[in-house]
């Protein structure tokens, strides 16, 4: 197993372990307090467990090498898992919101608030440690599945803080309805986070082009070769942690096939310096050649080798 795959696997296992621990603790706290906010936190942890199991499966599939039926690899399994996770979270948000509205209409006091507070404080400490670890893994691997899983646990930090505030206001200050009001807030926050995560996953499944800054870097690196007369037809996409780059380069029309092949190899090496994990495909054209369906030039080097001209 490669280092990125091993890191993702360990992060997914850590997530599953913490979800099991927190779900058990919050079951006991919910029974003891009867709090809607605690119920919402319990539901979130239970769904975190399910989502983490899905993430673990997705990471395993995404790490499988490319085969004859999946020549571009299995990286999109992570985006599919992220979409499944967002569906689970949205379902949870609707259920919590409904329960909170019912409690607002029919107020009930919470009991044993110190139990709920104690469990929430423990959950905050354990979740913070996991989030910091997941953030390190995402920074090193770019995994969308681990990133979406991390969003769940980042929201847990706010959710557990909200539970503490709700129990304090309800039981400590006697503000009836505070617990239910925080339950509504938690439901809305979960729904917002799910929609944000889904957007990123859909972008990957639809092969959305990279951000302009990353595309510009590809063009600059490719166009920095002294024998490249222009770069066009740049296409980029990501699949899990794998990046794919393809583009055309212009070279002198009189260049031999052997020389053109050498230039393409050297251009690929330059682009790989900026994108070491990318799968790079380069097509060589004689200078001035443009196919009927091409969009036109995107990058033409200036006469001065250290000055470049980016064109839309």
User: What are the tens digits of pLDDT across the range 169-216?
Assistant: 766 676 667 767 777 877 787 788 778 778 878 888 888 889 889 999
Give the model's confidence band at 311: pLDDT under 50 very low, under 70 low, under 90 confident, else very high. Answer: very low
Do 142 and 244 lie in a common domain?
Answer: no
Do 240 and 157 lie in a common domain?
Answer: no
| % of the chain beyond a pLDDT of 70 | 85
Query: How many other β-carbons are positioned within 10 Å of the β-carbon of residue 2?
Result: 11
Strands (E) in 140-271, as ranges, are 230-239, 242-251
Question: CA 237, CA 288: separation in Å to the nearest integer?
Answer: 27
Among the listed ranges 149-163, 227-241, 243-257, which one has the minimum average pLDDT value?
149-163
Element (H, E) at 182: helix 178-205
Inter-residue contact 90 to 194 (CB < 8 Å): yes
Q: Which domain holds residue 74?
A: 3-205
Element (H, E) at 67: none
Do 192 and 221 lie in a common domain?
Answer: no
pTM for the structure as a whole: 0.61
Alpha helices (H) along 34-67: 36-62
Question: CA 245, CA 72: separation in Å to the nearest integer?
Answer: 12
Inter-residue contact 283 to 231 (CB < 8 Å): no
Inter-residue contact 38 to 29 (CB < 8 Å): yes
Do 27 and 130 lie in a common domain?
Answer: yes
Would you state the pLDDT for residue 255? 92
Do 32 and 181 lie in a common domain?
Answer: yes
Q: What is the CATH number of the domain that holds 182?
A: 1.20.1510.10
Phi and psi for 296 in degrees, rounded to 5?
100, 180
Q: What is the CATH number of the domain that holds 272?
A: 3.30.70.1350
Inter-residue contact 250 to 287 (CB < 8 Å): yes
From residue 45, give the alpha-carbon distance in Å to each of 7, 151, 234.
Answer: 23, 13, 43
Would you state the pLDDT for residue 309? 42
| Contacts (Cβ under 8 Å, ≥6 apart) of 282 | 222, 246, 247, 248, 249, 264, 267, 268
Do 199 and 260 lie in a common domain?
Answer: no
| Total structural domains within the chain | 2
Token output for 229 = 């007369």
Do 220 and 194 lie in a common domain?
Answer: no
């Amino acid at each position: 197993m490669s280092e990125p795959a091993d890191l993702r696997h360990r992060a997914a296992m850590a997530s599953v372990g913490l979800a099991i621990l927190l779900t058990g603790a919050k079951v006991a706290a919910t029974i003891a307090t009867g709090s809607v906010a605690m119920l919402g936190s319990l539901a979130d942890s239970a769904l975190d467990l399910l989502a983490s199991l899905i993430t673990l499966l997705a990471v395993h599939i995404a790490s499988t090498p490319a085969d004859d039926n999946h020549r571009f690899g299995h990286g999109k399994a992570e985006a599919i898992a992220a979409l499944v996770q967002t569906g689970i979270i949205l379902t949870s948000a609707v259920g919590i919101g409904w329960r909170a509205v019912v409690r607002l209409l029919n107020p009930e006091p919470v009991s044993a608030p110190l139990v709920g507070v104690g469990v929430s404080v423990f959950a905050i400490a354990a979740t913070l440690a996991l989030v910091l670890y997941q953030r390190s893994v995402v920074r090193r691997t770019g995994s969308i599945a681990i990133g979406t899983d991390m969003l769940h646990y980042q929201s847990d930090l706010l959710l557990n803080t909200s539970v503490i505030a709700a129990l304090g206001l309800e039981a400590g200050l006697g503000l009836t309805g505070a617990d239910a009001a925080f339950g509504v807030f938690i439901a809305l926050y979960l729904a917002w986070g799910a929609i944000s995560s889904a957007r990123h996953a859909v972008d990957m499944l639809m092969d959305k082009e990279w951000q302009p800054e990353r595309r510009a870097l590809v063009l600059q690196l490719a166009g920095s070769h002294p024998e490249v007369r222009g770069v066009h037809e740049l296409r980029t996409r990501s699949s899990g942690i794998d990046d794919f780059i393809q583009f055309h380069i212009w070279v002198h029309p009189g260049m031999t096939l052997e020389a053109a092949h050498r230039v393409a190899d050297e251009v690929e090496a330059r682009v790989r310096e900026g994108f070491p994990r990318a799968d790079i495909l380069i097509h060589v054209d004689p200078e001035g050649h443009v196919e009927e369906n091409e969009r036109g030039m995107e990058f033409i080097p200036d006469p001065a080798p250290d000055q470049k001209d980016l064109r839309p």
